[in-house]
Structure 1
Amino acid sequence: MTGTTDTDEALHVPCSGPSVWRGEDLADHREEWVLRLSPHQLVEIDSAVREARRRDLTLLKLTAADFPLPTLAPELERVAETLEHGRGFVLVKGIPVERLGAPAASAVFWGLGQYLGQPVPQNAYGHLLGHVRDTGRSLADPATRGYQTRAALPFHTDGADLLALLSLREPRTGGRTSLVSSAAVHNAVLDRRPDLAERLYRTYFFDRRQEHLPGEAPYAAAPLAVRRGGGALSMRYNRCYLESAQRFPQVPRLEPADVELFDLIDEVAGSPEFRLDIDLRAGDLLLLNTHTIMHARTEFEDHDRPGLRRHLLRLWLALPHHLAADGARQGVTPRDVIRPRNAASAAGTNPLPGRTQGDS
């Protein structure tokens, strides 16, 4: 691995500010990070759905202007501030997904997302609105990604600035989501193993899980951490992808100290002291900043009937000021920019209400 610059101050000054938190301190203070939609706000959402239908637009062409939220929009601005400059996550409760049905719930999810960022592709098919559900696939297959399985997913970050998850249906058992402050984990590494801290800023190689175009490298290179001038931290971590990238002979071999670092990150992130556990219920919308928050999921057991099985909608959102003029993302930490194999597949073709595109 090669070293990065601007690490000296970061290795001597712990991260500070609201993005540094511990789960044990937040577990009993849900009012600080939960937004419960009021009856008036729900009426406003229903009105926005009717307006979107009136305009007869395809779902993926729907903008914030087509989904007017006169009083909820300022609340979403405060949510955006919290995501980028505050704690890094918000749980919105009360979206009536059962009453709305899947098509209208998808429109609400998409419409709310328009107030927070710009959707970006989540896979090589160009899907902007993703579906998180068990497809029977296994992570042992290098073409499989975690959201397609029921397996436990250790703490990791996603390939966008913001992650949005809307729960439509819950599993029979399991599937608990956990969050952890990346800055708190970073500080714990500095405190417990200062000899490993420098490795956070080295360049590593992540498996792209076959989500790349012909001629592109099947792996991406990036540091685990970036911190300019001792300022805000941006973390990128996915041990599964770090280890599966070792199948490529061009990728440098992980050293024993790298494995020690990964073990420590996993240990700290998974400890009750640091992690915050959340059971996502139907109608819950989880929003998080992937630069400052890592998330995990426990294994789950699903219902036998297909219509009852666990199902979440997912958006990957780019912050507007992280986009270049040509639409390319300029995240604080380099992310995998997934370029669709067929750009037309990312365009919506169905009027509201109707089937939404996503992973099947």
Structure 2
Amino acid sequence: MTSMSDVLHHPCTGPAVWQGPSLAGSQEWILRLSPAQIDELEAALRAVRERGIPLLKVTARDFPLPTLARELERLADMLENGRGFVLVKRIPVERYSQAAASAVFWGLGQHLGVPVSQNAAGHMLGHARDTDRTMTAPSTRGYQTREPLPFHTDGSDVLGLLCLRAARSGARLSLVSSAAVYNAVLARRPDLVERLYRTQFLDRREEHGPGERPYHAVPLAAWYEGKLSLRYNRCYLESAQRFSDVPRLEPADVELFDLIDELAASPDLRLDIDFGAGDVLLVNNHAVLHSRTAYEDFADPALKRHVLRLWLALRQGRVLPPDFWGDLHSTGGGSGRGGIAPRDVIAPSDLVDIGGSRRQE
């Protein structure tokens, strides 16, 4: 397909269009780390520690992976030009302190892309865990709760997750091909497809800077340079309605959102992921929607679910329309490829908390 007219009338094709059941028994999207590859990770970790490099200053050159680096290049290409997701099994996180596991994850991320800020505090290495907050508070983000997270995308090229500890129960992760959902919308309700390309309004959840709008005005879908990119977060679309200057959602918008939710959660399309301690999940947000079920946690704080999170800009990522991320100045990593712009200026002495690692301005 070469034009907007094509994508409005014909289904997408290619490796990014997949159905979960057809992949459930496959190993093609899984990389199982060999003992030699784990040895490389640990050797790189020792090199960083011996040189005393602060976490956020570690680059791919500082974290040498003689053979694994080539495999990570292949994974980056798979994320952008293949199915759009990869599961890496399994980093032996039980051997490491939280600081060591964070350094390993950060080092891997440096070989895949450029980290961008995940919130207005400038955190470059995030922590998904329950904070007893709920989504009823306008400043709460889903990763801070135990609540179910319906299918959605995050604000970067790639989402990376490293599981340090799994929940007592629940927290099942699922993925679905954005292009497969798009094709299903086209097949069932072709009258709604064009609406994906209209301007919609996404709540910024109190993470906008002074003088900025508290929401982004963006299309949900973009067809650009031969690739479909889809963004979707119904919670943010609906919570943006609290602003008086945001146009009201039309009945057809709600029909579209209902259909996307139904299709994404369908067992005919979705893929459920076995995501345990030491696993790394990498997801291209332009090509794949992800979800998480609610979970029950352990009472002991030392056993509670804890997942490290990276938002990455791919070095060889797709070309995106100039207005794709909303306000052009609202980018968190200097790459112009997503992220949330930090509101403050961080001094080097502040970069000491692995629990909320922040960028240096």
Q: Does 2:25 match 1:23? A: no
Q: Does 2:229 match 1:234? A: yes
1:349 aligns to what? 351
Question: C-alpha distance in 1, partners of 2:158/2:350?
Answer: 21
1:61 and 1:348 in contact (8 A); partners too: no
2:192 aligns to what? 196
Q: Which amino acid is the alignment partner of residue 159 of structure 1?
A: G
1:170 aligns to what? 166
Tell me the TM-score normalised to structure 1 length: 0.92
Question: C-alpha distance in 2, partners of 1:79/1:345?
Answer: 34
* Per-residue deviation, 1:236: 0.5
Question: C-alpha distance in 2, partners of 1:321/1:328?
Answer: 16
Provide, for residues 176-196 of structure 1, a one-character-per-residue CA deviation record: whole Å limited to 9, x for no partner: 000000000000011110011
Question: C-alpha distance in 2, partners of 1:130/1:62?
Answer: 16
Q: Does 2:297 match 1:302? A: yes
Q: Which amino acid is the alignment partner of residue 303 of structure 1?
A: F
What stretches of structure 1 of length at least 5 have no aligned partner? Answer: 1-5
2:8 aligns to what? 11
* Per-residue deviation, 1:277: 0.5
Provide, for residues 294-352 of structure 1, a one-character-per-residue CA deviation record: whole Å limited to 9, x for no partner: 0000000000000000000000011235699x964444xxx5x41111131698734xx
Question: C-alpha distance in 2, partners of 1:193/1:88?
Answer: 25
Q: Say if 1:188 and 1:208 are closer, same or farther in 2 by CA, change over 3 A.
A: same
Q: Which amino acid is the alignment partner of residue 19 of structure 2?
A: R
2:262 aligns to what? 267
Q: Say if 1:347 and 1:142 are closer, same or farther in 2 by CA, change over 3 A.
A: farther
Written as runs of structure 1 = structure 2, the 5 A alignment for 1:322-341 is 328-331=334-337, 335=338, 337-341=339-343
Q: Which amino acid is the alignment partner of residue 18 of structure 1?
A: P
Q: Which amino acid is the alignment partner of residue 276 of structure 1?
A: L
Question: C-alpha distance in 2, partners of 1:155/1:73?
Answer: 31
Q: Say if 1:34 and 1:347 are closer, same or farther in 2 by CA, change over 3 A.
A: farther
Give the 3-state SS of the residue equivalent to 1:74 in structure 2. Answer: helix
**In terms of mean alpha carbon deviation, does 313-322 or 167-176 score higher?**
313-322
Give the 3-state SS of the residue equivalent to 1:70 in structure 2. Answer: coil
Identity among equivalent pairs (%)? 62
Give the 3-state SS of the residue equivalent to 2:14 in structure 1. Answer: coil
Q: Does 2:39 match 1:43? A: yes
2:324 aligns to what? none
1:21 and 1:184 in contact (8 A); partners too: yes
Q: Say if 1:62 and 1:37 are closer, same or farther in 2 by CA, change over 3 A.
A: same
2:56 aligns to what? 60
Give the 3-state SS of the residue equivalent to 2:276 in structure 1. Answer: coil
Give the 3-state SS of the residue equivalent to 1:44 in structure 2. Answer: helix
**In terms of mean alpha carbon deviation, does 6-15 or 294-303 score higher?**
6-15
Give the 3-state SS of the residue equivalent to 2:175 in structure 1. Answer: strand
What stretches of structure 2 of length at least 5 have no aligned partner? Answer: 320-327
Written as runs of structure 1 = structure 2, the 5 A alignment for 1:198-237 is 198-228=194-224, 231-237=226-232
1:286 aligns to what? 281
Q: Say if 1:347 and 1:314 are closer, same or farther in 2 by CA, change over 3 A.
A: farther
Give the 3-state SS of the residue equivalent to 2:176 in structure 1. Answer: strand
Question: C-alpha distance in 2, partners of 1:160/1:197?
Answer: 24
1:89 and 1:287 in contact (8 A); partners too: yes
* Per-residue deviation, 1:54: 1.3
